[in-house]
Amino acid sequence: MKREESLFGNIDWTLFIVFAVMVLIGIANVYSAAYNPKAPFLFDFSQKYGKQIMWVGISSFLGLLVFLIDASIYRKFAIPIYLFCLILLVIVLFMPPVNGARAWLGIGSLGIQPAEFAKIGTAIALASYISSINVRQQTVNTVIVANIILLIPVVLILLQPDAGTFVVFTSFLFVMYREGITYDPIILHLVNLIPGVRFKKTWVGSHFIPIFFVVIFLSIITLLMSNNTITFSFLPGIVIPGFIGVIGSLSVICILSFFILRFFVAKRDRKRIVMIVIIGFCLSSLISSIVNFGFQGLRKHQKDRIELFLGLREDPDGEDYNRNRAMAAVGSGGFFGKGYGNASVASVESNHVPESETDFIFCPLAEEWGFVGSLIFTLLFMFMLFRIIQIAERQKATFNRVYAYCVAMILFYHYAVNIGMNIGFAPVIGIPLPFFSYGGSSMMSFSVMIFILLKLDSQRGDFLG
Amino acid sequence: MNNDSRRYVIIIFFLLVGAIYTIRLFYMQVIDESWTLRAQQIAEKRKQITPPRGVFFDRQGRKIVANKTYFNLMMIEANIKNFDTIAFAKLIGWTPERVKSRFWEIKLGEGRYKNPVTGKTTSNYQKIRPYPFVKEIEMEDMLNMAPFLKNFPGFYEEITSMRSYPYANGANILGYLSEVNGDEIKTDHFYSPGDNIGRAGLERFYEEELRGIKGIHYIVTSALNNAIEPYADGKYDTMARQGPPLKLGVDITLQAYGEKLMKNKRGCIVAIEPSTGEILSMVSAPSFDPNLFVGKKSIAKNYPKLLQDPKMPLYPRPLSAEYPPGSTFKLIQGLVALQEGVITPGTGFPCKKSMVGCHNHPNAGSLAEAVQYSCNPYFYHIVRRVIQQGKRKKQTEDAEIGLRKWVKYMHSFGFGEKLETDIIGIRSGLIPDVKYYDKWYGHHNWAFSTIRSNSIGQGEVKATPLQLANLACILANRGWYYTPHFVKSIGKKGPLAIYRKKRYTMVNRRHYESVVEGMRRVVNEKGGTGAGARIKDVVVCGKTGTVQNPHGEDHSVFIAFAPMYKPKIAIAVFIENAGFGGTWAAPVSNLMMEKYLLKKITDKEKEEKMLKANLD
């Protein structure tokens, strides 16, 4: 049978290898971060690195299971899977709280976090729903149903409370955007209420999601940088306001993209793309300026409130402890890093960076491998994301494509927020770094997520939906 | 834009975030160094090893300032477990209440911090930081305590050193140590809280030499401040180095003897070796035991007491007290007059008391005799000749030219300027110049007659005892001096460069002999005013002074050097409110010189009288 000969044959090995490389680097990194000289054996299951290997083993087993099960099951059982996840999310609310959140199901270190798996369940449910409708005729109803599918787990997760996972759930809005489910019908409905106005579609409504998130992203970065100054050790005496630094970075990206686009864009499209880049740059700079000067113009108590929320206040040993220590660890890495196993700030032993093996796992990586390691890490991650999008776009089934986009967006969100936290670009909200953070739930859920994608992709010829 | 091309929006979003993060990472890790410093601050604790301070030796090689090892009992609250207050109180010999209140004392002592945003007030005290719980524990006590400390986790001993003074003398010279304050820590990064700094005297002047070089051990520490391991295997560690020993010109037995002589008197003695400028002794009476200022506890106890004492024992009289120099000043006037050529050694003036009073003595037929009799009118005449040389027709204009020249002469003798002696608290005295009198009387509104009192060392002119001792040196050397100084060598190096430079006065060497002859007569001839300073077999040259004091009894002054040829000691003695210079100051300087030159006292009766005298 076709399926049997293609059990492993049709796997996208590129994605699988990137995934495997990340997991291996992740283990090495946890080993360094959590190294205990009294138990130096890598497979010591009493230590975090031993446990992490155990989790990887369990994840591999789950991956094997995923490969043995026919891919059509996800589509067929989408609703039961979704409901199962919701039930787990409800049950977890009755569990005793750990660190102030009712997020753990099970006992002690062997517990799981249903919220991690709810991402997969929601992704499957969303994929199932979108594949069942004709998005070309999206109505107010389809938008509302899609949003409700998101809203139920979000509400349950906020009850735990778990702000990080909530933020990650907003990533599904991008998937909906890609599939054409936007807030346009709602906005059209409202706009067309105005007498004499009759729009078929609005640009703002269609592209609301990316615009909204780019604005949020730029605003947060501008605000975080607005109080800082940028100095260069080789140019003493030159002090650049943080806001200028943001605009400067945007200009650098703009100029770089001109050069890069020469290689990737056909000649006839070049003019258009250049225009888009220039307009994008101008708009971004404008947003950044408005936010910066608007913020400066705020009354003091309003400013204080925003600064408190973003952790902008200089309080390195108090409220800002985590981020300050994390940034010190990352920033002290230098170009080539301090060398493997030499982290002085981010090792668990020294305990300066709290959670340096889970949420702040990027710290030991960046401290030990420096900018070179951080760059390789970023490139690896970006490569994985693009590969997933490539895989998504080659799917003939809408279900598969939507699911693949969900995976890409979830991984991207985790990357953006987690690394942002380590470099002072995001408020500290605890979410793990996929494949790197120590922890069973995240290891298993991200692995299963990837394995389901690989399985769906390997069977992409089976059903044309 | 169709749905398929929306993938590019997402891709661009990925790229935008990836690019911005990469730029940020590049900036943080490669360009900006502040995070590296922050990381060092956090994790690579530099453990400072403070070396013991440099010690002091006197001119005979006797150790006069030493270091004694003490211990501080340190406490880290976070590490305290199962604390038994009563047992601990018993161990350190306190009451349990005192132990409890000590915890509060430390906490409150750290102050509080108010967060400007939240308005929350938090204590600066941190449970994970070490604080000294008991300070300055002596070695023996610590040895008794140490074996039991392991029962009290969170407490440990830390070694420190403090000064000790084998001789209870010279407190005014040596100075003392106390803890650095916040400003000092801010301005000089050498110091960290709890360090000691020189507060006065030589300790302060030679602070940078004495403190030595701190050793730095880099260690990787945990958030709980526990050392984990030496950083980079100790590659960057440096050893602590003790400051070099200071060898002083001071003779501690002479100093001790001087302080003994000056008991129950106010005033000072300054003795200098003329050939080197090394200060042999500097007594400021009343004096105090330097051991009173060792350690925080005793400073806190004794400092206010001494500060409020009406006899002002903390006031460095030899350096800061500005007295009119009295008749000792006449010596320079004679020298200046000779240099200016307005008199010869043989010039005589009749002692007419029309201008100023004088005591009864024969007319001075020469400068030497004038010095011998300390004849006031004589010196009026000669200083008038110096000031009013008739270069202008108008008296006042003429006086201005003369005074300008005279001021320059005085400065060349070290008067009216701060001597650059290696100690804190030096004052300049006062040599009134043209500006000074213009301000008082108006421009061209004064002449010699207005300022004549200066010629006999009264009036506006003022000098410190150190300057007078230096004058004795100049006379002993016949025209030059080394700036008086205490330290003759710093470790293997000699004294500071400024003390190796000979300074010449504006008066030629050949003019000195007649004044020195006058000084010999003061002590050794009949009719001299300083017979009390005579030593058998040693020719002492001296000059008495009696400083009129509007507030009470006159001050008794005597300057001298001996022997007359190849002098070994020059001395100035000031005794406040003691009357005539010959009665008190001359015998005291006589005893000092005998002690130094002969190592014995020939006239026990005189010594007895001086020791017993209570002039306070």
Q: Does B113 touch chain A (CB under 8 A)?
A: no
Mean pLDDT calculated for residue range A118-135? 89
Is residue B449 very low, low, confident or very high in pLDDT (cuts 50, 70, 90)? confident
Q: List pLDDT tens digits, range B520-568.
A: 999 988 877 888 888 888 999 999 888 887 777 888 899 999 899 999 9
> By percentage, how much of chain A surpasses pLDDT 70?
89
Q: 3-state DSSP call for residue B563?
A: coil
Straight-line distance from the first to the last Cα atom of chain B, in angstroms, rounded to the nearest whole number: 106
The closest alpha carbon to A220, from A431, A433, A434, A423, belongs to: A423
Distance CA B43, CA B52 (A): 27
Residue of B nearest to A348 (CA): B222
Q: Does B1 touch chain A (CB under 8 A)?
A: yes
The answer to whether the CB atoms of B30 and A233 lie below 8 A apart is no
- pLDDT tens digits for A251-263? 888 888 888 777 7
In chain A, which residues have their Cβ closer than 8 Å to the Cβ of B23?
249, 252-253
Phi, psi (deg, nearest 5) at residue B191: -90, 145
Q: Which residues contact B391 (CB under 8 A, 6 or more apart)?
A: B398, B401, B402
Confidence of residue A3 (pLDDT cuts 50, 70, 90): very low
What's B53's DSSP letter? P
Contact criterion met (CB < 8 Å) for B29 and A206 = no
Long-range pairs of B184-193 with CB within 8 A, sequence gap ≥ 24: B190/B214, B192/B48
Q: Which residue has the tokens 């953006």?
A: A416
Tell me, what's the pLDDT at A2?
45
Contact criterion met (CB < 8 Å) for A378 and B20: no
DSSP classification of residue B28: I
Q: What angle do CA B172, B176, B178 make, to 5 degrees?
A: 150
Mutate to test the interface with B, among A350, A406, A433 (most CBs of B within 10 A): A350
Question: Is the CB of A350 less than 8 angstroms away from the CB of B221?
Answer: yes
Strands B555-562 and B246-248: unpaired
Nearest residue of A to residue B20 by CA position?
A249
Q: Could you tell me which of B551, B561, B557, B371 has the C-alpha nearest to residue B470? A: B561
Nearest-Cα distance to chain B for A328, in Å, is: 5
Would you say residue B223 has pLDDT above 70?
no
CA pair distance B482, B469, nearest whole angstrom: 12
pLDDT tens, B427-448? 999 999 999 999 888 888 888 8
pLDDT over 60 (residue A1): no
Residue to substitute from B1, B22, B29, interface A, most A β-carbons within 10 A: B29
**Closest residue of B to A37, CA-based?**
B228
Give mean pLDDT, residues A319-335: 81
Q: Which of A178, A249, A325 sits opposite B3 (nearest CB)?
A: A178
CA nearest A322: which of A361, A360, A369?
A360
Question: Considering CB atoms only, which of A206, A221, A371 is closest to B30?
Answer: A371
Helix intervals (H) in B352-458: 367-373, 376-387, 395-412, 434-441, 448-451
Mean pLDDT for all residues in chain B: 86
Q: Using a CB-CB distance cutoff of 8 angstroms, which residues of chain A are in contact with residue B228?
A: 349-350
Between CA B473 and CA B277 the distance in angstroms is 8
- Tell me what pLDDT residue B279 has: 94
- Number of neighbours of residue B323 by Cβ within 10 angstroms: 22
CB contact under 8 A, A409 and B224: no
How confident is the model over A411-449, as pLDDT tens digits?
A: 999 999 999 988 888 877 878 999 999 888 889 999 999
Nearest-CA residue of chain B relative to A312? B117
| Rg of chain A (C-alpha set) | 23
Contact B574, B580 (CB under 8 A): no
d(CA B284, CA B271): 12
Whether the pLDDT of residue B14 is over 70: the answer is yes
Mean pLDDT over residues A369-376, rounded? 93
Residue of A nearest to B11 (CA): A386
Question: Structural domain boundaries of chain B?
Answer: 43-62+167-248, 69-165, 252-304+317-612
Q: Regarding predicted confidence, which is higher, B119 or A150?
A: A150
Our CA-based measurement puts residue A266 at a distance from the nearest CA of chain B, in whole angstroms, of 15
- When pLDDT is averaged across residues A116-144 and rounded to a whole number, the result is 86
Nearest by CB: B14 against A135, A180, A382: A382
Average pLDDT over residues A59-88: 91
Query: How does residue A313 score in pLDDT terms, banded at 50, 70 and 90?
Result: low
Cite the beta strand spans of B400-501 per DSSP E. 480-481, 487-490
Q: Which stretches within B247-394 are classed as H helix? A: 252-261, 296-308, 317-320, 330-340, 367-373, 376-387
Residues of A in contact with B114 (CB under 8 A): none
Burial A169-181 (b: 16+ CB within 10 A, else e): bbbbbbbbbbbbb
Categorize the per-residue pLDDT at A24 as very low, low, confident or very high, splitting at 50, 70 and 90: very high
Return the pLDDT at B281: 94
**Residue in B117, B123, B128 to test binding to A, most A beta-carbons within 10 Å:** B117
Query: 3.30.830.10, 3.40.710.10, 3.10.180.10, 3.40.50.300: which CATH number matches B252-304+317-612?
Result: 3.40.710.10
CATH no. of B43-62+167-248 = 3.90.1310.10
Q: What is the mean pLDDT of residues A84-91?
A: 92
Q: What pLDDT does B42 receive?
A: 72
Q: Which of A108, A114, A122, A124 is nearest to A89 (CA)?
A: A114
Q: At a CB cut-off of 8 Å and minimum separation 6, what does B51 contact? A: B212, B213, B214, B215, B240, B241, B242, B243
Q: Is B301 helix (H, G, I), strand (E, B) or coil?
A: helix
Using CB atoms, pick whichever of B21, B32, B118 lies closest to residue A378. B21
- Is A121's pLDDT higher than 90? yes
Q: Using CB atoms and an 8 Å cut-off, which of residues 192-221 of chain B contact chain A?
A: 220-221
What SS3 state is found at B77? helix
Beta bridge partners of B559: B543, B572
Q: What is the mean pLDDT of residues A340-364?
A: 78
B486/A99: higher pLDDT: B486
Q: What is the pLDDT of residues A182-237, one digit of tens each?
A: 888 888 888 888 887 777 777 777 788 888 888 888 888 888 777 677 776 666 67
Whether B30 has its CB under 8 Å from any CB of chain A: the answer is yes
Give B59 or B139, the one with higher predicted confidence.
B59
Amino acid present at A66: V
Region B373-384: mean pLDDT is 88
Range from B17-31, B213-227, B352-366 carrying the lowest mean pLDDT: B213-227
B14 touches chain A (CB under 8 A): yes
Size of interface A-B (CB pairs under 8 A): 163
CB contacts of B117 in chain A (<8 Å) are 304, 307-308, 313
Residue A213: which of A258, A172, A266 has the closest Cα?
Answer: A172
Out of A245, A352, A370, the one facing B42 most closely (by C-beta) is: A352
- Does the distance separating the beta carbons of A412 and B25 come in below 8 Å? no
Residue B222 main-chain phi, psi, to 5 deg: -95, 175
Mutation target among A352, A368, A372, A386 for the B interface, most CBs of B within 10 A: A352
Closest CA to B470 of B510, B436, B511, B428: B428
For the residues B236-258, what does the mean pLDDT come to?
Answer: 88
* B33 touching A (Cβ < 8 Å): yes
Is residue B561 helix, strand or coil?
strand
